[in-house]
Structures are given as C-alpha cells and as structure tokens.
Amino acid sequence: MAIININGEWCDKEEAKISVYDHGLLYGDGLFEGIRIYGGKIFKLEAHLERLSEGARAIMLTLPSSLEEIGALLEEGVRRYGQDEGYIRLVVTRGTGSLGISPDSCEKATLVMIIDEIQLYPREFYEEGIKVVTAASRRLTGDIFDPRIKSLNYLNNVLAKLEAKQAGCLEAVMLNREGYVCECTGDNIFVVKKGVLLTPPSHLGMLEGITRNTMIELARTGEIPFEEKVMTRFDLYTADECFLTGSGAEVIPVVSVDGRTIGTGRPGELTQKMRELFRKRILL
Ligand code: PMP
C-alpha cells in the first residue's frame, strides 16, 4: 500500500490532495527527487538530499524543514511502507499562494512524499535491450535553465517522451542546442567504445544523475577505463555498447539508436558487468 505524507500529515492515497493554488501546479515552481529503496534501506539518501538542497538554493526556495528532518521523514515512511523494495517520490513546491507568478505570495513550501512501487520498463527489455530515437525536442542548456536543477518543469522531456512513443520506442535521446548528446528524458546515457566507458559531461545540459555518478564511482573503483566525453549522434551510432541509467530504470541496455544497431544488437559485455556491479552496490 502506498505511503503518503503531505506537510507532515500521513494520508491515504484517495485523500492525498494539495491546493489548486499551489505554485507547483500553477507554475511548475518546485523540485522533486526519485529515490529507490533496496533491502529496506534508502539508496544514496544523502546524495538525493544534497541535490534537492542545491536545487532549492538555485531557485531560492526555502525548504520547509531541515535536510535531517526530511531524511528522518523518509526513513519513517520506509518503516511504514514495510517492503524491501520501493520507490520514493519527494516533491517540494513553492507552496500555496495567489494566482500571480511571484513566489512572494507563497508563505511556506509544500512537501510531499509518496512511497509506492515503480516499474519503468518491462522485464524483458533488461535482457534484450531497448531501442531509442533522437528527439527533435532539445534539452535546455545551463544559460537558459540549468537541467541540473531537478525541477517540476519537465515539459520538454515530456515532449521528447512523446516523440519516443511515436517512433515506437520507450526512450528518446535528447541533444542540446549545439547538437551534442546530453541524456534521455528520464535517464542518463553511457556508451562503450573500444573498452572505454563514456558519458557526456554534465555542463552540456543534463541532470547529474545519482545512478550516473554511482556508475562513475564503480568504474573508478573497478579500474574500468572511463571518460567524460562530448559526443554527437555519430558517437552513439558507432558505439560498441550503449546503456541508460536512472533511479527508476537502474541500468538498461540500448541496442538500437535511430535505427542503427549498436554493436552486436545484444546487450554488451561491459554493460552487463556494470549492471552486475550496480546490483552488488545497491545491496551493500
Ligand atoms: N535525467 C533526467 C532528466 C531524469 O529525470 C533522471 C531521473 N529520473 C535522470 C537523468 C537519472 O537521475 P537519477 O540517477 O538521479 O535517478
């Protein structure tokens, strides 16, 4: 059963409601985090709280409680949820205000926590790999609105997701204005070329994924050659392997990009290895 808390109050799914004057709804003015529970424990809690806190600082949003208190609330939620595996959606909005855009009318930020199940992709795709396409919708760059802020404005990602669907795919690769590969609509992207693990640097315009950073950590400790590299679609088309990472998706192999088969058309060796290392890491 889902566990929900709104501004400190525990509520049932049917009764979990926020005001239509909430600026999260009216303006997408807010932040969120998607966090996993593995083995009854919150995975990378500190990293999620740090990202939330940095986002809040960047948009001048005062969190309604301290990071310690938010962490304790999540822990309490996980205890109530009582399952070994689950997904936490943490949402902080500017709060309830008037109809104008100014955040001045919002007295206090709204904090919502939902704990429930998540299954982003069907099981078989983890074995077989997925096909992706490049979206025409571009990722925003840092000079417009830095995608490192995990904000409630996901409309350009939603549009790219629709493009994926229209092309019969589950995910779409998003480029920045210059045409460099950034990430997917809800996942970061990695490729393998001649035994080297590559991912785009975050300054190109992307969310600095916590799963992405975990992969980088795993590559470093496992002495797997790794580089951050600026890439175009050519680098994807000619990669030996490709995979996506995210808290929801974990590590999912990609076997086709824009109709070009990647490597052998099967999930690659290093991809499998990174998946295994990740699975071991989450159960530590
Ligand atoms: N990019 C985007 C746009 C995302 O929304 C997400 C999270 N769903 C990711 C990447 C992956 O980030 P994380 O590993 O922290 O879940």
pLDDT in tens, 202-235: 999 999 999 999 999 999 999 999 999 999 999 9
Q: Domain holding 228: CATH number?
A: 3.20.10.10
* Last residue of one domain, picked from the residues 116, 151, 168: 116
Enclosing domain of residue 104: 3-116
| Size (the chain), residues | 284
Q: Domain holding 43: CATH number?
A: 3.30.470.10
Q: How many domains does the chain have?
A: 2
Pair (84, 24) in one structural domain: yes
Pair (215, 170) in one structural domain: yes
Pair (13, 112) in one structural domain: yes
186 touches ligand 1 (CB under 6 Å) = yes
Name the closest-CA residue to atom 6, ligand 1: 186
Has residue 118 got a pLDDT over 90?
no
Name the closest-CA residue to atom 4, ligand 1: 186
Pair (272, 226) in one structural domain: yes
Annotated catalytic residue within 150, 161, 165, 273: 150
Is 150 annotated as catalytic?
A: yes
The rounded Å distance from CA 148 to ligand 1 centre is 10
Has residue 17 got a pLDDT over 80?
yes
250 touches ligand 1 (CB under 6 Å) = no
Q: What is the pLDDT of residue 61?
A: 98
Pair (212, 171) in one structural domain: yes
**19-45 pLDDT per residue, tens:** 999 999 999 999 999 999 999 999 999
Name the closest-CA residue to atom 9, ligand 1: 187
pLDDT above 70 as % of the chain: 100
Q: What is the pLDDT of residue 283?
A: 85
Pair (109, 245) in one structural domain: no
